């Protein structure tokens, strides 16, 4: 089971209508998995349930073999969740925010400080490290939130639209960081509407529609021998009845 970073089985969640409808999904350890789907397909709801932020109506979720529902605290220690909207504390500086998040995950202070230094440097946040987050731009906030997600060295990193609001240079920094993370053995699951990102970064791609997985595989597997772009494939799959 340890080679599976995530195993989702028969997952269901209903709000007014079914948001996730019997979803089965597996993500192997050490891969970058892109979950794609049209708006309202159930991507964010699925990932929120994986991160322990929402309770499923039924089904099971295992993260590195741990049952998220039976042992949420144990599972959360392994996960980092980055929502699409970077919600930070206005009155804390990035440096303080990282120290706070590290404290929540009980990372020893010296280790946290060293990791914070690296992340701040990697994400180009040196100039902003001691200013209050309320003064940062959307892209800078996004980078601080990403650093917060990485400060406790999660085994599974879940990102919802991580490149929203970033300029080209910042997006490149984030992409490099994610690839480095995967190269170092980490597992990343992300949702994105930028299909080029999925095409270039993802080891495997899952396409979800109406709460169900309708296609999954590497880009080549999805093409099934053809040479269609991911955009063409996605639009065909997402709009199919």
CA 33 – CA 187 distance, rounded (Å): 8
The span of 80-88, 117-125, 168-176, 209-217 binding another protein (CB under 8 A) equals 80-88
Q: Which residue blocks in 151-223 are alpha helix, DSSP H?
A: 168-183, 195-201, 219-223
DSSP 14: E
Q: Output the CA–CA distances (angstroms, integers) from residue 91 to 24, 42, 94, 132, 134, in the order listed.
A: 41, 33, 10, 5, 7
CA 184 – CA 165 distance, rounded (Å): 27
| By the rule CB under 8 A, 89 interacts with another protein | yes
- Choice from 80, 144, 208, 215 touching another protein (CB under 8 A): 80
Q: Is 21 helix (H, G, I), strand (E, B) or coil?
A: strand
Report the residue number, 64 or 205, with the smaller CB distance to another protein: 64
Q: Which of residues 50-69 bind another protein (CB under 8 A)?
A: 51-53
The span of 35-43, 93-101, 208-216, 218-226 binding another protein (CB under 8 A) equals 93-101
| By the rule CB under 8 A, 105 interacts with another protein | yes
- Write down the least CB distance from residue 20 to another protein, Å: 18
DSSP 73-115: HHHHTTEEEE-SS----TTS-HHHHHHHHHHHTT--HHHHHHH
Report the residue number, 10 or 109, with the smaller CB distance to another protein: 109
Q: Which of residues 127-186 bind another protein (CB under 8 A)?
A: 130-132, 134-135, 148
- Write down the least CB distance from residue 37 to another protein, Å: 20
CA 180 – CA 236 distance, rounded (Å): 32
Judged by the rule CB under 8 A, the positions of this chain that interact with another protein are 51-53, 73-74, 76-77, 79-81, 83, 87-93, 95-96, 99-106, 109, 130-132, 134-135, 148
């Amino acid at each position: 089971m340890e080679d599976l970073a995530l195993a989702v089985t028969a997952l269901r969640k209903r709000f007014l209508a079914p948001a996730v409808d019997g979803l089965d999904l597996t993500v192997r350890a050490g891969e970058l998995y892109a979950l794609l789907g049209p708006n309202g397909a159930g991507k964010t709801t699925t990932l929120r349930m994986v991160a322990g932020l929402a309770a499923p109506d039924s089904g099971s979720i295992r993260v590195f073999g741990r049952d998220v529902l039976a042992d949420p605290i144990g599972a959360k220690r392994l996960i980092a969740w980055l929502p699409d909207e970077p919600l930070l504390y206005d009155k804390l500086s990035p440096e303080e925010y990282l120290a706070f998040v590290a404290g929540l995950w009980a990372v020893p202070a010296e280790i946290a400080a060293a990791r914070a230094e690296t992340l701040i440097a990697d994400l180009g946040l040196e100039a902003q490290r001691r200013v209050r987050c309320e003064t940062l731009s959307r892209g800078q906030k996004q980078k601080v939130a990403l650093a917060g997600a990485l400060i406790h060295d999660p085994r599974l990193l879940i990102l919802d639209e991580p490149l929203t609001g970033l300029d080209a240079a910042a997006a490149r920094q984030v992409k490099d960081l994610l690839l480095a993370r995967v190269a170092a053995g980490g597992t990343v699951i992300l949702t994105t509407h930028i299909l080029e990102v999925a095409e270039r970064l993802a080891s495997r791609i899952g396409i979800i529609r109406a709460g169900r997985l309708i296609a999954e595989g590497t880009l080549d597997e999805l093409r099934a021998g053809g040479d269609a772009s991911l955009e063409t494939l996605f639009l065909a799959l997402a709009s199919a009845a």
